[in-house]
Every structure is written in C-alpha cells, then in structure tokens.
Chain A
C-alpha cells in the first residue's frame, strides 16, 4: 500500500501544495458563522506530513493536516466547528446519543444540564442536546462503561452486548420494525430496586 506521505511531496521529496476540501468552494455549509467559511480563497495547502507522521498527540495531527485541509486557521477552530452538539437541534430523524458518565476520553458528554453537583459549565453535554430537540434526539447515559467499553457482566471480553441491544433496539423501534430477537439480556434476570 502506498504511503499517503508521497501524495504531499513532489518527485524531489519536497512539500507541495495539495487541494483543500472542495466543499469550501460551495455554499452548502451548515454553519456559516465560522470565520473559516469565508476563507475559501486559497484552495490548496501545504501539510507538514513529516510532523504529522511523527506526532504523538491527536491535536498535533489535526493541527498539521486536518485543520488546514478542511479550511480552518487553527486546530481549535476546527474542534469548535466540528463539535456536533451545536447542530443537533436541526436533526429531523430519530437519533440516540448513548454515553457513559465515566468515559475518560469523550469527557463530559454524558452530563445533563440539570445534574446538580455533577453539572459542568465548561462542557456542552447531553442536557443541552435534548433541550434543543426533544422530538428527535434521545440521550441515554450509563454511570459506567468507559470509552467504547460497556463490557458485559456475563461475558466481559466479548462484545458490548448491552450497548448493542440498546442501540439496535432503538433504531428498530424508531423505524417501526419489530425489536430484535427481543430476547432480554442476561442482566434482565437480576432484579434491582427501581428508582423513585
């Protein structure tokens, strides 16, 4: 498989300008409030692929390659623009946002607005999402689960069966299809006290 790096360098191994995302030239951008939308004049960029290929942080890679490619002046501008919470109010089809409260990577996404002492003003979390669009967005938050964890009690190193049943069940029910095998998971046999 060829390396992507070759695409950014000319035959002498020197960096060469490459095209930016072609969507910058069109007017079909959702959010034009960003200053980036207007900066479509130069349609090429020179990426620091050497830096990117040796980077040890996601931020550095986004800074070297992602942000300039998609028309942003800085990596922070890219992150602010790409964050999806700000446009979930527009969604018009059923959408489930499933998060774990102890997720160490997608941090704070599981925090609803009215979470009392758990509220975090510095993070746009799930609460803001359902406030904006209750007819199309449902938010589910588990206390545990980690990032992409949701390991199952009955089979910890198999697939995250609960998260799969929950999300597939949501998609099936929202499309008016019969819900799965409808076989409740092993967890369902354990009776726990209901919250009042």
Chain B
C-alpha cells in the first residue's frame, strides 16, 4: 500500500484508513444499494438479473472494503478471477467490469466527501489514504478480469488446434491430412509432429495433404508445408499436396517455393487416385457400374 503521502503527516494514514473502512462498513447497506442502482442506471451488467447484480455487488463491496482495510490485494485478485470465471460465460464485457468498479469507487468517494465536507483538511487526509488504495483495487479487479479472458481464449485456441488437425487413415499405408483454417507457426509445428507420428504408427507410404481449407498462404506457411513434405520423406513416405487454389498456386510460385520438392495434384480426388496408383491399388467398376477398389497388386 502506498504510504508515502502519509509519511509527511504526523498521524499515520492507517488511522484515516481505519476510520474510512469503518465508515464504509457502517453505511454498507445504503452504499451498496446506491451502487447497484447506479449500475442499472448506467445500463451495465444487462446480462444479469437484478437479484444477481445485487448478490455479486455485495461480494464485490465486501472484498473491496477488505482490501482497503488489509492493504493486501491477493485475496481480491483471486476473487476477481473467480468472479470473472462466473460472469464471462454470461456475456459480461470488459468495459462493464471496469465501469462498475469505477462506479463503486465514485460512490464511496462521494460518501467520504459528504461525511467530511465540513473539514477540508480531514477530507484531504482521508482521500490521500483512500485514493492510492482505490486505484490499486480498480486495477486489480480489471486485470483479474482480463487475465481470465486471456486464459479462456488460450484454451479455445488449443481446442481449435486439436480439433482441426486430424490425421486420417483411408487405406492401408495411405493417410490424409486435411488442413483447415489459419496455420500459425505453433499449429504448423503441431501438424507436422502429428503427421510424422501418424506415418510411423500407420506405416504409411503415401500421405495426401489437402490444403483446400487453408485460409491464406504466405511464405511461412509455404515453408512449413515444404518442411512437412521433407520430414515425411525422411520417414519413407511420399507426400502429395492437393487443393491448391489458383491464388495459392500463384503465391507459391511468386514466393519461390521449390516446387520440385512437392508432388501436387489439383484436387483431393485426384490426389487420392494418384496415391492409390503409387500404392499399387487399381480401382475398377464392378458389374453393376459402381466403382469398387480391388485389392493390392504388389505386396505390402
């Protein structure tokens, strides 16, 4: 807690702080109600019912005053993250959380003004004790909220990454890796690792990497693709890249990717046919005109 402002006074700031905390506890009911009222007035926390707002307001108020009293903010930080965990799924936004904390700060400050309006010096000292702590509290709550949001975003990103990198075995020795969405370096790395493990586990000889669903191709993604192809080759697997759109094909040429290193086919269907050919499969129509693949020609 910032006590520098108090050091020049003969009476320590803690005295004023104690008095302030007492005042806030004494007038808890009315101040809390006023705060809840102003929250509704400002149209904040619209995702929550009045009863919910009041319940949470009570907790926040008590934690706020406690933080003022003890000068420690760990408990408040923990509370803030727990609170955020509860309200973020309800759709509460950052500006709302910061808004209500600042409203509380204001409500309490005005209450102090009202109490000490007769004694200017006293008011000054109380505010000197209140201000830094109040700032710190607002900061702590806001940071707690933002940290919780960031944690959720990271979790979601991880989930998306896992969802969108399936390595699928469609035939003996043939894997398909459909790439979808935005490929950032982390995801590219995960993709390659997953593919290499898949090649080893399935003893794949051919891999078809389909990039139809890739959002954008820049030199980084292109390089990752080339690396994936080369690493797969080191494990004895041939890679066929399919699904290059005209735009991506142009981009690859412009970037100067060594296309000699990549075996490409226009679409996934063509890629699978090429893969089957490499593996010695032959697809022939059966008597009722439905194509069915007959077994292998060479031993595998």
Q: Say if A and B assemble together.
A: no
- Residues of A whose CB lies within 8 Å of any CB of B are none
User: Interface of B with A (CB < 8 Å)?
Assistant: none
